[in-house]
Amino acid sequence: MYKYIIKFKLVEMIWANGAGKGSIPERFNPKIITKTMLKAASRDFKEKTTLLKESQYNRELHSLRCDFQLKLQIAKDFKLCESIYFPHNMDYRGRAYPITPHLNHIGNDLCRGLLEYSNAKPLGKNGLKWLKVI
């Protein structure tokens, strides 16, 4: 439990300082593109292309920020819980997938970094070998 709180506070601190580290997106847009800027650059092809790429980057960054904040809020809500459980669905091949879409053990690096197992078990005789198998 102690390690989880330290990891969570570290992620919150990085986000509060503007982020842009690892899988934590930048907190603010590097450059705001307006329609008047696009209209002014309509004659110069290179300038317009650059502005359109920056505009696309800003939209993608907005999406990443929303996803990050949602995951961070869910982690904050579960911060004081001793253990949490993820309900799973199984497909016809016998594969299990978590039902929770945002924070789960199969998510991105941020999700997996914030979660830790509540009951630690030793790896055993062949455990390290199976951790290396991908």
The H or E element containing residue 90 is strand 88-90
What is the chain's pLDDT, residue by residue, as a tens digit (134 residues)?
445 566 888 888 888 887 777 778 888 877 777 666 666 666 777 877 887 888 888 888 889 999 999 999 998 888 888 888 889 999 999 999 999 888 888 888 888 888 887 787 888 888 888 888 85
Distance in angstroms (rounded) separating the CA atoms of residues 69 and 77: 12
Domain extents in the chain: 2-132
Give the per-residue pLDDT at 57: 86
Torsion of CA 28, 32, 70, 100, to 10 degrees: -130
Answer whether 78's CB lies under 8 Å from 38's CB.
Answer: no
Give the per-residue pLDDT at 73: 92
Structure confidence by residue, pLDDT tens digits, 19-40? 777 778 888 877 777 666 666 6
pTM of the model: 0.73
Residue 70 has a CB neighbour count (10 Å cut-off) of: 13
